[in-house]
Structure 1
Amino acid sequence: MNIETALKEAMTISGALGVALVDYDSGMSLGTMGGGDWLNLEVAAAGNTDVVRAKQRVISALKLNDDIEDILITLQRQYHLIRLLGSSNRGSSRLFLYLVLDRERSNLALARHSLRSIEADLTV
Structure 2
Amino acid sequence: MQLPFLNRLQGLTGPVVNKIVSPGAAGPEQTAAELILQHVLAGLPELVAAAVVLEDSGQALATYTTAREFNVGKVIGYNADVIRQQRLALKALQLPAEEQLEEVLITLRTQLHLLRLLPDGRRFLYVVVDCRDTNLGIAREVMRTCEG
Q: Residues 37 and 119 of structure 1: is their aligned pair in 2 closer, same or farther, counting only changes over 3 Å? A: same
Letter aligned with residue 51 of structure 2: A
Q: Which has the higher strand share?
A: 1
Equivalent in the alignment of 1:52: 83
Aligned length: 115
Which secondary structure state, in structure 2, belongs to the residue aligned with residue 51 of structure 1? helix
Matches within 5 A, 1:1-124: 2-12=32-42, 13-65=44-96, 66-87=99-120, 90=121, 94-120=122-148
Q: 1:71-112, CA deviations, whole angstroms, 9 ceiling, x for partnerless residues? A: 10000010000000113xx5xxx1100000011000110110
Q: Which of these two proteins has the greater Rg computed from alpha carbons?
A: 2
Cα-Cα RMSD: 1.5
Which secondary structure state, in structure 2, belongs to the residue aligned with residue 16 of structure 1? coil
Letter aligned with residue 4 of structure 1: E
Which secondary structure state, in structure 2, belongs to the residue aligned with residue 86 of structure 1? coil
Q: 1:4-35, CA deviations, whole angstroms, 9 ceiling, x for partnerless residues? A: 12112212315311100011101111110115
Which secondary structure state, in structure 2, belongs to the residue aligned with residue 67 of structure 1? coil
Q: Percent identity?
A: 35
Runs of 4+ in 1 over 3 A off after TM superposition: none
TM normalised by structure 2 equals: 0.72
TM normalised by structure 1 equals: 0.85
Higher relative contact order structure (alpha carbons within 8 Å, sequence separation ≥ 6): 1
